[in-house]
Each structure stands twice: as structure tokens, then as C-alpha cells.
Amino acid sequence: MERLRPGMKVQAVIAIMRPVTLDWGRYHLSGSGESILYFQLTADLQLVVSVSGFAGGFRSGSAGTVRPKEEWIRMDDDRIWVPDRSISLTPEQMEEVMKTIDSK
């Protein structure tokens, strides 16, 4: 984690963290192109890295923050849904989430 720096390309953050974490996922902020990367460090801790669009592509906005582990629901591939962050979903987004939950 000490290799993470603000402004790193998203692919570099994932390449550093993915091999050393239990799980990871990307929470997309609705329509903005921004996202939050979640890396599960232990059963109880996660690293959260904000991602924003900058010239030259998407880059980390922070070096990450270690927090207590939140609930995630895997949607597909690297995409996750984080109930605590999903205050307002469109009807289409809610329908997709419910289908995913029902299929688990």
C-alpha cells in the first residue's frame, strides 16, 4: 500500500493491490465516470481509493483510506454494488441490483 500515490493510473493501482488482497471491486458513481475502488485487506478491513477523470485518463484521487469492511454485492466482473453508498438508484439500476441478488 505504501506504493500508492494520488494521481496514479487506475490500472497501476489495481496491478499493485489485486495480488495482495482477498477481493476487490469497482463501484461506479452513477453516470459521472467516477468510481471507487474497494480492496478487501482482511475479513474486517478494506482500502478505498477514489477514481476521477483527469487529462490522460482516469486516475486515483487519493492514496487510499483504510476503513472497516462494508458489504459489497458482486454485479459482474469487477463491478460491485455497495448498499451503504447507494442512496438513490434509478428504477433500472434497482431492477439490475435485485436481479443480481436473486441470482445469488
Contact 78, 25 (CB under 8 A): yes
Q: Per residue in 40-76, pLDDT tens? A: 999 999 999 988 875 556 677 777 888 899 888 888 8
Contact 80, 27 (CB under 8 A): yes
Q: Per residue in 17-31, pLDDT tens? A: 999 999 999 988 766
With respect to residue 3, please indicate whether it lies within any of the assigned structural domains.
Answer: no
With respect to residue 2, please indicate whether it lies within any of the assigned structural domains.
Answer: no
| Number of domain units in the chain | 1
**Residue-wise over 25-43: b if at least 16 C-beta within 10 A, else e?**
bbbbeeeeeebbbbbbbee
With respect to residue 62, please indicate whether it lies within any of the assigned structural domains.
Answer: yes
- Structure pTM? 0.75
Contact 30, 82 (CB under 8 A): no
Domain hosting 61: range is 10-103
Contact 13, 4 (CB under 8 A): yes
